[in-house]
Amino acid sequence: MRFVIFVLLMATSAMSFAKGVYLSSEAFVKEVFAGTPPAPEMLWLTGKKREHAEQILQHRPASLRTRYWKKEQRTVWILEEVGKDKPITVGLVINRNKIERIRVLVFRESRGDEVRHDFFTNQFNQAGLTKDHRLTKKIDGITGATLSVRALTKLAALALYLHTEVSKENDAQ
């Protein structure tokens, strides 16, 4: 009986261990812009933008507007996507239509938190976006973290797409 209780306690503690806040959104944005971030801007996901976002995410976006920070050719996005059951909050930096950096800020799932480590996130560096909204780099998965990997891959593609839309809007002005 003690052994069963011990195994249950270990399993429960291991499952709750994966959850964590690793960095606040505000701290991430400040870090990216060396302490002086630009004012946040809003991008509305309407019309074709919404359709493309749905195509990338494979579901409707949770919100019709997305906040971002832009300075020259660089944008920063704080986005969320559900892994298995709960949202994963990710900070993404896009520079000249390529991923410069991706970082898991908050992980709420009970497993799959390996996606927060550099060995995984570094795979996204310098990835771009194809015309059919796929990453230009193959991202290797992690056994036991398939849904978390899928969530980060979708967010990377979405951030790249949103960056190109912001760039188009700025070019039109």
Amino acid present at 111:
R
This prediction's pTM? 0.88
pLDDT digits (tens, 9 = 90+) for 92-120: 999 999 999 999 999 999 999 999 999 99
pLDDT digits (tens, 9 = 90+) for 136-150: 999 999 999 999 999
Best CA proximity match to 32, nearest among 107, 123, 116, 99: 99
Averaged pLDDT score across all residues of the chain: 91
Q: Do the beta carbons of residue 153 and residue 93 sit within 8 Å?
A: no
